[in-house]
Amino acid sequence: MTYSFEQLHSFTMGMLTKIGCPEDQAKTAADVLLSADLRGVDSHGVARLSGYVRLWEKGRINATPNVRVVHETPSTAVVDGDGGLGLVVAPFAMKVAIEKAKIAGTGWVSVKNSNHYGIAGYHAMQALAHDMIGISLTNASPLVAPTFSQERLLGTNPIAVAIPAKDQPPFVADLATTTAANGKLEILQRKGMDTPTGWVQDKEGNPTTSANGVKDGGALLPLGGDREHGSHKGYALGSVVDIFSAVLSGANYGPWVPPFVAFLEPDPNPVGEGIGHFFGAMRVDAFRPADEFKAHMDNWITRFRAAKPTPGNEKVLIPGDPERELEAIRMKDGIPLLDPVVKDLTELGERFGVKF
């Protein structure tokens, strides 16, 4: 079934205000969630709304946080999210990074005491309107086994970078540092399908294609899948995200990051506060004139688009192309939701008196 952006946005706002979010924060959170659905990252959109509500019911999300800067220099800051929705905390922190970049040329903000912040790309893209390059990182629940490990010590720990162009659409890279994000397993579980090889290992550390492999005690694998295909590089990238997001800010890192699911309790001996994020904003004209840079970005993009595709492939894509094209389609034709998601949201709405 398909639903309009407006319908899903209104429902999301209604649910978030029901749990106590101020209207402006509920709108910000709904904007972030629906951006995922529009861009085809269905695992991080409204399908996760009930997960946030369950965390609120467990007292693990503060619906009325006092999000604030607790330490800063002219170009850096640490933000305390006060246990709020990451969907609210992250836009606040990215705005701080942008404001610092306006003055200092670059702005860098590390965040503690937050929660899951939606898709990384949304936050990085906030810099584009200011002729800035945006960077967005976050750590996440430990579902990933480092190369050669049976233990789950890292999250999917995404990296997003958004770079403005002139006449061409912006370059937007948004990727997990694992072979696949956990949300993709959730989608396969709903469809009753297996995973491709290289996504998951079982609890003994052996390869598996079960979409329930992580639920059954296994782990997601770093980008690359195994050592022969470069998993040590994905492991290293995920580690950098963890350190920048949490060790730098005072959030929990590694196996101490609190789980997104409400039925699992956080570690009773945390090493920090909540989940951590890291944001960067770089003013293009701090390096060269913005128009000159963006004209060369157009040239870069145009040349890569003109690359001769391999047999069986239509064209070479630029990071951000599939999401941008899908966003235009879904804004016009609606956002498709799987039946289990519709059922979940309908029941959620009935429980709180918000019509879905």
Sequence-distant (≥ 6) Cβ neighbours of residue 197 within 8 angstroms: 207, 209, 225
Name the CATH architecture for the domain at 64-178+227-331: 2-Layer Sandwich (3.30)
Q: Where are the domains of the chain?
A: 64-178+227-331, 180-220
Give residue for tokens 């659905």. 37
- Measure the CA angle with vertex 16, ends 10 and 22; round to 5°: 100
Among 68, 75, 141, 61, which residue's Cα sits nearest to residue 111? 68
- How does strand 171-175 pair with strand 159-163? antiparallel
- Interatomic CA distance for residues 315 and 304, integer angstroms: 10
State how far the Cα of 84 lies from the Cα of 95, in Å rounded to an integer. 16
The answer to whether 93 and 248 have CB atoms below 8 angstroms apart is no
State how beta strands 171-175 and 200-201 pair.
unpaired
> How many Cβ atoms are within 10 Å of 336's Cβ, its own excluded?
13
Of the pLDDT bands very low, low, confident and very high (cuts 50, 70, 90), residue 181 is confident
Assess whether pLDDT exceeds 90 at residue 305: yes
Tens-place pLDDT, residues 83-132: 999 999 999 999 999 999 999 999 999 999 999 999 999 999 999 999 99
| Residue 216 burial (CB count, 10 A) | 11
pLDDT tens column, 228-262: 999 999 999 999 999 999 999 999 999 999 999 88
CB 180 within 8 A of CB 224: no
Distance between CA 72 and CA 265 in Å, rounded? 32
Q: Which element (helix H / strand E) includes 104?
A: helix 86-104
d(CA 28, CA 122): 11
| pLDDT tens digits, 182-230 | 878 888 988 899 999 999 999 999 999 999 999 999 999 999 999 999 9
Predicted model pTM? 0.95
CA distance readout (Å), 125 to 4, 37, 83, 240:
23, 16, 24, 21
Side by side, the strands of the sheet bearing 159-163 are 68-72, 76-80, 106-114, 275-283, 132-138, 159-163, 171-175
pLDDT for position 184? 83
How far is Cα 226 from Cα 31, in angstroms, rounded to an integer? 36
Given CATH 3.30.60.50, say whether it is the number of domain 180-220: yes
Question: What is the model's pLDDT at position 180?
Answer: 87
